[in-house]
Amino acid sequence: MKTCRIPHTELDVPRIAYGCMQLSRAWDDTAITAAEISATLKLVETALEQGIALFDHADIYARGKSEQLFGEALRQIPELRGRIVLQSKCGIRVAGDPGAGSPARYDFSRGHIVRSVEGTLKRLDTDHLDLLLLHRPDPLMEPAEVARAFDHLQSSGKVLHFGVSNHSAAQISLLQEQLEQPLVVNQVELSLLHHRMISDGLLFNQPGDTGAGRTLDYCREYGILVQAWSPLAGGKLSAGTPAKELHPAAERVARLAEAKGVASEAILLAWLLKHPAGIQPIIGTTNPQRLVASCQADAVELSREEWYALLEAVRGTGAP
């Protein structure tokens, strides 16, 4: 698989990454199972065979069990840690944490960031993360407090590089002003179906201009890798029977996939890979066959006409 360098780092990563949220689907306090460990090992091996070497986590995924399962894979394949880039996210606290009356919330306090990373490292059975992302914006964020947390984590060798997830250009800029470390990643929801960050650029000074495209332009300008979560939009354009309003787009994807001899998933990912921002899709399927089919995207080249035709089909209108 083709690779790219994450700006401002020494990390060369594949164009497609693997998201580990669904390694466990039991968001409760039950223990991980032998069946989950076996399935995780199969998925990790399949990803590596396809050239995927960046694995994305978050401390809240299955209440930490997805990280635990990956940690078990690291224990069973001792040489694996040196072959991969490990990334995790923190900052989301679920209802009931730490007490029964605690609401769901976001927490960028120094103490919570540091504790979250220490928990992640223990579950993953590793001594450092290559990348740590702040998961969702915290309205109570104090940038200077985040800076102290990042300084501690970096100086102690627990985190090498930092980024954010689901942040706007303005939020990134506000935080970056206080940091010694560059923010090198912004992970956002982005797909052919959820295309506003890309298509908004067509609508400047037009009805429907939301400003979403400014964040993509900001990331390009300042050398921030854009990672796309849910790049297949949950299969809405590539699996099963699409909703009626999505029939034209799904049919266009299917026809193009047939013409190029690849799976529909590969067309959807190739649409993102075509963009000059260097978007890195993070695929999260737990089906090894679908994972392999998705990785066909690395060899797919869409023409400008094909790229715009897909966008037109999903928007229901052409370029203004």
Backbone conformation region of residue 56, classed left if phi is above 0, alpha if psi is from -120 to 50, else beta? beta
The whole-number pLDDT of residue 244 equals 86
Contact 150, 179 (CB under 8 A): yes
Q: Which two tokens stand for residue 20?
A: 């580990």
Contact 137, 165 (CB under 8 A): no
Write out the catalytic residue numbers: 61
Which parts of the chain sit beneath pLDDT 70? Answer: none
* pLDDT one-digit tens code per residue, 149-171: 999 999 999 999 999 999 999 99
The whole-number pLDDT of residue 275 equals 97
The whole-number pLDDT of residue 204 equals 83
> Which residue ranges make up each domain of the chain?
3-189
% helix / strand / coil in the chain, to the nearest 5? 45, 15, 40
Amino acid symbol at 87: Q
The whole-number pLDDT of residue 205 equals 78
The whole-number pLDDT of residue 319 equals 83
Burial 160-188 (b: 16+ CB within 10 A, else e): bbbbbbbbbbebbeebbeeeebebbbbbb
The whole-number pLDDT of residue 320 equals 83
3-state secondary structure of 120: helix
Which of the four CATH numbers 3.40.50.970, 3.30.565.10, 3.40.50.300, 3.20.20.100 does domain 3-189 have? 3.20.20.100
The pTM score is: 0.96
Alpha carbons 71 and 69: distance in angstroms, whole number: 5
